[in-house]
């Protein structure tokens, strides 16, 4: 259906946030992995999830190369089903990707702290 639109929207939002933060970081030189770099990891992960979901929908014939592009948009009943799938599968996939990204940021921060502690000694 269209659950791939949810992580795509998340990737767009994270991409905009990354650009804004990168612009503000240009004034300073951080001694660690910058927030904009960490946000770019999230953008790439969300886009990867969106591509995976989109490929699965193309494979099953739910996305077509002609208007309305989504077969679920042909009737009101199937549109309601599509919106339900977006709210369940799309949001779940996006939440899992964000949870994994948070884990990556925590691990990267712990490695940075260890590296800085070794430099100090």
Which pLDDT does position 121 carry in this prediction?
Answer: 74
37 falls within a domain: no
Q: What is residue 23's three-state secondary structure?
A: helix
- The C-alpha atoms of residue 97 and residue 72 are separated, in whole angstroms, by 25
The torsion angles phi and psi of 63, rounded to 5 degrees, stand at -115, 125
What does the mean pLDDT of the chain come to? 90
CA dihedral 36, 41, 44, 45 (to 10 degrees): -140
42 falls within a domain: no
Domain of residue 107 covers 5-26+52-120
- The C-alpha atoms of residue 1 and residue 20 are separated, in whole angstroms, by 32
Count structural domains, the chain: 1
Residue 91 has pLDDT above 90, yes or no: yes
13 falls within a domain: yes
112 falls within a domain: yes
Residue 72: pLDDT band with limits 50, 70, 90: confident
Cβ–Cβ under 8 Å, residues 98 and 42? yes
40 falls within a domain: no
């Amino acid at each position: 259906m269209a659950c791939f639109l949810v992580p795509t929207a998340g990737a767009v939002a994270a991409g905009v946030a990354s650009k804004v933060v990168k612009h503000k970081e240009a004034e300073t030189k951080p001694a660690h992995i910058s927030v904009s770099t960490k946000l770019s990891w999230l953008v790439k992960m969300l886009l990867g999830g969106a591509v995976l979901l989109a490929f699965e929908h193309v494979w099953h014939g739910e996305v077509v190369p002609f208007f309305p592009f989504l077969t679920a948009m042909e009737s009101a009943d199937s549109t309601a089903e599509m919106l339900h799938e977006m709210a369940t599968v799309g949001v779940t996939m996006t939440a899992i990707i964000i949870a994994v990204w948070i884990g990556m940021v925590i691990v990267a921060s712990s490695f940075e702290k260890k590296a800085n502690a070794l430099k100090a000694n």
